[in-house]
């Protein structure tokens, strides 16, 4: 299936983290078990001041966290459907949209499911084998402008997006691991 058949990737347009126009503050990351991680988060107004601040804070927190390629609002204790992703430079990434934040994101199309090992800042001591779509179409709103976007992606960025969208639905990778022997004690901390 080509990108055209799945609908065009309208991309991020001229959106950049700088267009949020507020300095981000590093927030504390919560760990499981914590109720905010297991609750479906609320839809947000992407143009609201607190959403824009949250977006900037998620980027700031992601940037200071080694190896972090995505961070969802519930992970900083906020039950809002907002997350940041940045897989830039990751060896397994193919399509890369750079640093971005999506509000109210949803999966529109998911195909070519592949298993892969995942970890999570909110489950620091475990990793698990999770099947994710390696071709993905996601729709959501950009914080600040509130502009709707449609991203077509694949591979590692697709995995990161599904992991973060799950956080916004109150799900951890633990809820999706393949079986009783698919969770492992983490050996390497990035």
Q: Which residues bind other proteins (CB under 8 A)?
A: 31-33, 38, 123-126, 131, 171-172, 174-183, 185
Q: Which is nearer to other proteins, 9 or 129 (by Cβ)?
A: 129
List the catalytic residue out of 18, 109, 139, 164. Answer: 164
B/e letters for 79-118, b = 16+ CB within 10 Å, e = fewer, are bbbbbbbbbeeeeebebbbebbbbbbbeeeebeeeeeeeb
Q: Is 163 annotated as a binding residue?
A: yes
Please say whether the beta carbons of 101 and 143 come within 8 A. Answer: yes
Smallest distance, other proteins to C-beta of residue 112, A: 12
DSSP 168: H
Q: Which is nearer to other proteins, 56 or 120 (by Cβ)?
A: 120
Smallest distance, other proteins to C-beta of residue 187, A: 12
Asked about 5 being catalytic, the answer comes back as: no
In what helix (H) or strand (E) does residue 152 lie, and over which residues does it extend?
strand 148-154
Residue 18 region, left (φ>0) first, then alpha (ψ -120 to 50), else beta? alpha
Q: Is 97 annotated as a binding residue?
A: no
Q: Which is nearer to other proteins, 99 or 183 (by Cβ)?
A: 183
Distances 173 to 27, 70, 128 between C-alpha atoms, Å: 22, 13, 7
Smallest distance, other proteins to C-beta of residue 37, A: 9
Q: Is 167 annotated as a binding residue?
A: yes
Smallest distance, other proteins to C-beta of residue 41, A: 15
Q: Which is nearer to other proteins, 91 or 179 (by Cβ)?
A: 179
Q: Binding site membership for Fe cation: which residues?
A: 120, 163, 167
Q: Which residues are catalytic?
A: 164
Could you list the residues known to form a binding site, using ranges: 120, 163, 167
């Amino acid at each position: 299936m080509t990108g055209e058949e799945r609908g065009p990737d309208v991309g991020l347009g001229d959106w950049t983290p700088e267009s949020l126009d507020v300095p981000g503050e590093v927030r504390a990351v919560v760990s499981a078990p914590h109720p905010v991680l297991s609750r479906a988060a609320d839809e947000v107004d992407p143009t609201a001041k607190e959403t824009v601040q949250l977006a900037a804070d998620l980027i700031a927190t992601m940037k200071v966290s080694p190896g972090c390629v995505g961070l969802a609002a519930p992970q900083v204790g906020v039950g809002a459907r907002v997350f940041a992703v940045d897989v830039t430079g990751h060896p397994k990434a193919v399509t890369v949209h750079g640093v971005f934040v999506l509000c109210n994101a949803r999966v529109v199309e998911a195909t070519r499911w592949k298993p892969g090992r995942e970890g999570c800042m909110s489950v620091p001591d475990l990793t698990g084998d999770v099947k994710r779509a390696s071709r993905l179409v996601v729709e959501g709103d950009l914080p600040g402008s509130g502009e709707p976007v449609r991203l077509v992606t694949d591979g590692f960025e697709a995995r990161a997006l599904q992991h973060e969208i799950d956080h916004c639905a109150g799900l951890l990778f633990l809820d999706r691991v393949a079986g009783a022997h698919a969770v492992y004690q983490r050996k390497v901390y990035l």
